[in-house]
């Protein structure tokens, strides 16, 4: 049960990704509201659509597919990735269609469609890039300070070994890759705005 030190570059990469994943959606929200006079509700309709269709309904399908079909990234990676991409497309596009047709039909103009996309992509960036980045950052700082070692010492051996195995990605991942997460989240926001 050995924890390796996390490099300063890796920590900087996580900080950069968190700032981008959380700061860009906030800046876009402010710009959409101030410059384009878009409705705040359009942002929340986009965010709510993402939460309902991608985080709730799509995840229920994933649970069923994994449980009943045994399909996962380890057993059949290419089939799993194709399935996951198709499921995301079906759920998110269906959510967009319903949102535009029923919840936004009175305000379906450029500023509000843009604000909807900022909400949809922005909440995804905050949840996936921002919150997971914060979790990684806390773990990295705990590892480097020695606090994680103390926490692991209080766990049963099997749980501690499993936790170390999961945390090992923080020191085995090449440091520059931690910067990529924020860039990927920005591209995802742009995609959601375009869609």
Q: In this model, does residue 72 exceed pLDDT 80? A: no
Q: In this model, does residue 2 exceed pLDDT 90? A: no
Q: In this model, does residue 8 exceed pLDDT 90? A: yes
**Residue 71 DSSP code:** -
pLDDT of residue 113: 94
> Measured between alpha carbons, how far is 182 from 22 in angstroms, rounded to an integer?
9
Q: In this model, does residue 70 exceed pLDDT 90? A: no
What are the Cα distances from residue 169, in Å, to 64, 163, 178? 28, 11, 11
- Three-state SS sequence of 133-177: HHHHHHHHHHHHHCHHHHHHHCCCHHHHHHHHHHHCHHHHCCCCH
Whether 81 and 73 have beta carbons less than 8 Å apart is answered as yes
Banded pLDDT at 1 (limits 50, 70, 90): low
Non-local CB neighbours of 182 within 8 Å, separated by 6+ positions = 16, 17, 18, 19, 20, 21, 129, 133
Provide the token pair at 183: 């860039």
Domain ranges of the chain: 8-194
Q: Tell me: the pLDDT tens digits for 78-112?
A: 888 898 899 999 999 999 999 999 999 888 899 99
Q: Tell me: the pLDDT tens digits for 28-46?
A: 999 999 999 999 999 999 9
> Measured between alpha carbons, how far is 142 from 28 in angstroms, rounded to an integer?
33
Q: pTM of the full predicted structure?
A: 0.86
The H or E element that residue 181 is part of is: helix 177-194
Q: Tell me: the pLDDT tens digits for 132-147?
A: 999 999 999 999 998 9
pLDDT of residue 71: 76
């Amino acid at each position: 049960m050995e924890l390796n030190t996390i490099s300063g570059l890796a920590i900087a990469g996580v900080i950069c990704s968190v700032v981008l994943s959380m700061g860009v959606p906030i800046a876009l929200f402010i710009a959409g509201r101030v410059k384009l006079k878009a409705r705040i509700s359009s942002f929340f309709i986009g965010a709510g659509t993402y939460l309902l269709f991608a985080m709730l309904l799509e995840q229920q399908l994933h649970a069923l597919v994994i449980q009943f079909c045994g399909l996962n990234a380890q057993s059949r990676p290419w089939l799993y990735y194709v399935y996951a991409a198709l499921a995301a497309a079906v759920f998110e596009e269906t959510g967009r269609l319903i949102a535009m047709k029923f919840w936004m039909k009175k305000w379906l103009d450029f500023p509000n469609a843009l604000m909807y996309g900022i909400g949809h992509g922005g909440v995804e960036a905050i949840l996936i890039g921002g919150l997971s980045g914060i979790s990684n950052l806390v773990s990295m700082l705990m590892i480097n300070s020695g606090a994680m070692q103390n926490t692991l010492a209080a766990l049963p051996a099997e749980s501690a070994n499993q936790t170390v195995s999961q945390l090992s990605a923080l020191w085995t991942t090449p440091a520059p890759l931690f910067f990529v997460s924020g860039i990927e989240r920005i591209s995802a926001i742009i995609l959601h705005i375009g869609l």
